Amino acid sequence: MELERLSAVELGRRIAAGELKCSEVVRYFLDRSIERNAALNALIEIDEEALNAAEEIDRRSSRESRRSPLEGVPIVIKDILCMEGKRTTCASRMLENFTAPYTATAVKRLLDGGVLPIGRANMDEFAMGGSTETSYFGVTRNPWDLSRTPGGSSGGSAAALAAGMAPLAVGTDTGGSVRQPSAYCGVVGLKPTYGRISRYGLVAFASSLDQVGPMAHYVEDVAALLQLMAGPDGRDSTSLPAAVDDYLGALGKPLDGLRVGVISEHVEHPDVAPEVRQAVQRAITHLTDLGAALEQVHLALTRYAVPTYYLVAPSEASSNLSRYDGVHYGYRDRPAEGVESPLVSMMSRTRSHGFGDEVKRRVMLGTFALSAGYYDAYYKKALKVRRMIAEEMRRAFERVDVLVGPVAPTPAFSLGENADDPVRMYLQDQFTVAANLAGIPALAVPAGFNDQGLPLAVQLQGAPLSEATLLNVAYHLQQNRFFVPRVAEWK
């Protein structure tokens, strides 16, 4: 039985119905993970403890009601969400041996729903990167082509899904870190509205942009995961008080009257590869067939999104990462001999050796942008442009329900291809960062494969709290066989 072909919701149903034993499901995915991780390095840690919880579920009488449709289904969690008693490394030497003493709200809600974490997914260090090449624990490979990146920063989560190591994954998205790896690996990945899922226990990269995001092969699985994790949290002042929609219940509702906007600036952008452009065109055709009305939308300010993002995110990061100074926890280096202040030396060496180059680059960038004399010209101006971008988006959603466009300009690039050119790497984010700056939900939807067998994808974006609509549109595309969930196999 190839369990990796089933949706998580279907696995959950079969476990609940007694058609599958939960412990067998967990054992199956653990074995697959162990076997495939050798080639992929998608998981930093594989956790067999989930078997205990699985056996408990198996022992339970069938009369007891299920905690959620995903009860008993294995999941991999990006190694940036705290889980009590588990190592939470952020793929950094700085936290190589850091054991979290508490559990992130999003993870707690998964555990409460009976979802079973079986591994900690690899990522770019502190989620800074778009290729999972900056991980202290080594690069993750793309299951569709081992010479290529799975994308990043949630590359481990996406690769694990694509390889069928787990039916569910959680990533985080600060500038595209869920959507771009989902696109590169051919899975569905959602960045929810800012504040929809609590950030408590999500190790901060850029607090005003970070969001936890559900990932899976099937749209209904992403909806079910969001259903579990979403909602207000008293521990996160920026979490939204609004009640949670019925995401699963919304799937399949007719799309009559749906207004779809095509982002001209993105689709026609010269960086966009022809097959990516064709994928977007194909999606437009499908949506028109499903009854959607089409409109061209101009987002003139989106060309400022990348520079704005690369001021806001590093500025916040430079402050968020100040806590890693070797004093209280995490990596600590020795002070140099004979220095005037061993304390300053210890802190400085800890940060020099505990962080990788990309993290240090961004911390320096942010420190500079916030410095006296530069604040107004950089950070303050970036906040202004950010508000303008959000306003432009808001106006667009007065006219359309969903914006369609590319996720990334190209399919997965080769490992090392952009390693020496940070700006080219940053431009991978040019179509995704605006959603983070504006705080709106955005979904990466698979769109088949190119000639080389690499996954293609399109991006759907919506007004704040329109996740139910985005997921429903994607569900129709899935039902309409615009894409067919597929697991990668390789020799």
Over the window 201 to 220, marking each residue x when it contacts another protein by CB under 8 A and - when it does not, the resulting string is: xxxx-xxx------------
Q: Which is nearer to another protein, 342 or 453 (CB)?
A: 342
**Residues 58, 66, 304, 329: which binds another protein (CB under 8 A)?**
329
Name the catalytic one among 23, 78, 86, 198: 78
Q: Which residues contact 340 (CB under 8 A, 6 or more apart)?
A: none
**Nearest-angstrom CA–CA distance, 83 and 44:** 14
Binding mask 360-389 for another protein (x = CB under 8 A): -------x--xxx--x---x----------
**238 in contact with another protein (CB under 8 A):** yes
CA distance linking residue 264 with residue 430, whole number of Å: 14
Which listed range, 52-60, 174-182, 340-348, 396-404, lies at the site for another protein (CB under 8 A)? 340-348
Which residue's CB is nearer to another protein, number 347 or number 444? Answer: 347
> Tokens in use for 104?
């992130």
Q: How many CB atoms lie within 10 A of CB 334?
A: 12
88 binds another protein, rule: CB under 8 A: yes
Torsion of CA 385, 387, 391, 394, to 10 degrees: 120
Run of H or E residues at 432 = none
| DSSP per residue, 92-138 | -GGGTTPBPSS--HHHHHHHHTT-EEEEEE--SGGG--SSS-S-TT-
Determine which residue in the list 100, 225, 279, 385 makes contact with another protein, applying CB under 8 A: 100
> Is 131 designated active site?
no
Q: How far is the CB of 355 from another protein (least distance, A)?
A: 13
Q: Which of 266, 281, 250, 299 lies closest to 474, judged by CA?
A: 250
- Helix or strand or coil: residue 239? coil
Residue range at the interface with another protein (CB under 8 A); choices 140-148, 177-185, 263-271, 314-322: 314-322
Q: How far is residue 91's CA from residue 78's CA, in Å, rounded to a whole number?
A: 10
**Residue 45: how many other CB atoms lie within 10 Å:** 16
Q: Based on CB atoms, which residue is closest to another protein, 124 or 325?
A: 325
Position of tokens 């990462």?
321
Q: Which residue among 33, 68, 177, 315 is the active-site one?
A: 177
Cβ count near 27 (within 10 Å): 17
Q: Which of 318, 432, 469, 472 binds another protein (CB under 8 A)?
A: 318
State the number of binding residues for another protein (CB under 8 A): 46
Q: What's the rounded Cα separation, in Å, for the pair 448 and 468? A: 23
Residue 414 designated active-site: no
- Cα separation, 309 vs 319, in Å, equals 16
Q: For the CB of residue 386, give the shortest distance to another protein in the complex, in Å.
A: 11
Q: Where are the alpha helices (DSSP H) in 251-377?
A: 264-267, 274-289, 305-320, 342-354, 357-370
Question: For another protein, what does the binding mask look like between residues 114 and 153, x meaning CB under 8 A?
Answer: ----------------------------------------
Among 25, 76, 82, 403, binds another protein (CB under 8 A): 82
Dihedral of the alpha carbons of 138, 415, 454, 181, in degrees to the nearest 10 = 50
HSE-CB at 332 with a 13 A cutoff on CA atoms is 12
Only one residue has tokens 């990668």, namely 488
Mode of pairing for the β-strands spanning 74-78 and 116-121: parallel
Q: Pick from 46, 73, 104, 292: which binds another protein (CB under 8 A)?
A: 104
Q: Considering the complex, what minimum distance in angstroms separates the CB of residue 35 from another protein?
A: 31
Query: Is residue 315 close enough to count as binding another protein by CB under 8 A?
Result: yes
Interface map 21-60 toward another protein (x if CB under 8 A):
----------------------------------------
**Active site (annotated) includes residue 491:** no
Q: Is 230 in the site for another protein (CB under 8 A)?
A: no
- Distance (Å, rounded) from C-alpha 190 to C-alpha 186? 13
Nearer to another protein, 37 or 122 (CB): 122
Interface with another protein includes 199 (CB under 8 A)?
Answer: yes
Residue in 323, 387, 395, 399 binding another protein, rule: CB under 8 A:
323
Asked if 336 interacts with another protein (CB under 8 A), we say no
- DSSP H helices, 116-246, are 155-162, 179-185, 219-229
- CA-to-CA dists, residue 67 to 109, 169, 174, 251, angstroms: 11, 19, 30, 21
Q: For the chain, what is the radius of gyration of the CA atoms?
A: 21
CA atoms within 13 A on the CB side of 323: 10
Stretch that binds another protein, among 212-220, 248-256, 336-344, 440-448 (CB under 8 A): 336-344
319 binds another protein per the rule CB under 8 A = yes
- Residue 95 or 165: which CB sits closer to another protein? 95
Contact status: 355 vs another protein (CB under 8 A): no
Tokens linked to 1: 């039985």
**Pick the catalytic residue: 23, 92, 135, 153?**
153
| Residue in 136, 200, 218, 426 binding another protein, rule: CB under 8 A | 200
Contacts with another protein, residue ranges (CB under 8 A): 81-82, 88, 90, 95, 98, 100-102, 104, 199-204, 206-208, 234-238, 315-316, 318-319, 321-325, 327-329, 341, 343-344, 347, 367, 370-372, 375, 379
List, by residue number, the catalytic residues: 78, 153, 177
